[in-house]
Amino acid sequence: MFPTMRAQELKQIVHTNSIRFIDCRYSLNDASYGKYVYGQGHLPNAVFLDLMEDLSGPLGEHGGRHPLPSKEAWTSTLRRIGLKKDDLVIIYDDGFPYAARAWWLFKWAGHERVVVLEGGIQSGITYCGDTTTEIPHYKSSDYTPDFQDDMIATLEEVRAATNGKLYDSRSEDRYNGVHEPIDQKAGHIPNALLCSYAEAITELGTLEDFHDLKELYKDVLPVENPIFYCGSGVTACVNILALHALGKDDVRLYPGSYSDWVSYPENEVHP
């Protein structure tokens, strides 16, 4: 299934109970932002999933700033929101990256019918006409995930990655160690090449067109099982989603990403 959907495509879908909207707006500068704006208004019948509480696991010594939730925790979340196997899940934020992270988690759980709404909530308002403050309540389900662990690259696999196999999704400044606002060491993982996620999306929160994406990823497309990372396993999901849009689905995520890498004193970084 193509990993994104635009507002005009939504208009062609008959609205049934099998369409599920997921709101995952978030701000790294204000952890309360997502819940607040959801409460102020969201797409009808959308449930809210928080980056820290639902789309990440508990922080620890290792695992990065946004560790993956455990399989048990993610299964519990999917059941709590009443997910069913035949549901079409449409995810939005007010940009793209957090929706991409949620998309990746649904795919990891083996849910194929999942897309990111390009253009975020504003695009959805174009389709739905307005937002609502009504909180939907769905009956819990017995959803049983089929976890796709081949989507994950381990720390050991990242350490063994050769040149041309590993890609850094952050900005050029952070990759080069010129500017590091968050992590304790500046630079990038040895053998990693730069492939900034920001080049894959427009200012309107949509994917770049097919030809631009092919040009952006021309060196990645021939690589078997490439590995992507970012600062904490969120924005790398944009690159992974964009590559799925080009038909390349053997891309793996290093979930802990750079923030996990630098939590091991023995791991080197390159400027």
Strand, coil or helix: 169: coil
Helix (H, G, I), strand (E, B) or coil at 79: helix
Query: What single DSSP character describes residue 70?
Result: P
CA–CA gap between residue 175 and residue 214 (Å, rounded):
22
Which stretch of DSSP H or E encloses residue 238?
Answer: helix 236-245
What separation in angstroms does the CA of 98 have from each of 56, 71, 180?
11, 19, 21
Pick the catalytic residue from 24, 195, 230, 237.
230
β partners of residue 115: 90
Separation in Å, CA 153 to CA 60, 73, 89, 157, 165: 19, 20, 25, 6, 11
Does the annotation mark 195 as catalytic?
A: no
Task: State the Cα–Cα distance between residues 5 and 113, nearest whole angstrom.
Answer: 12
Q: Are 269 and 261 in contact (CB under 8 A)?
A: yes
Phi then psi for residue 132, to 5 deg, are -140, 155
β-bridge mates for residue 270, sequence order: 188
Catalytic positions are 230
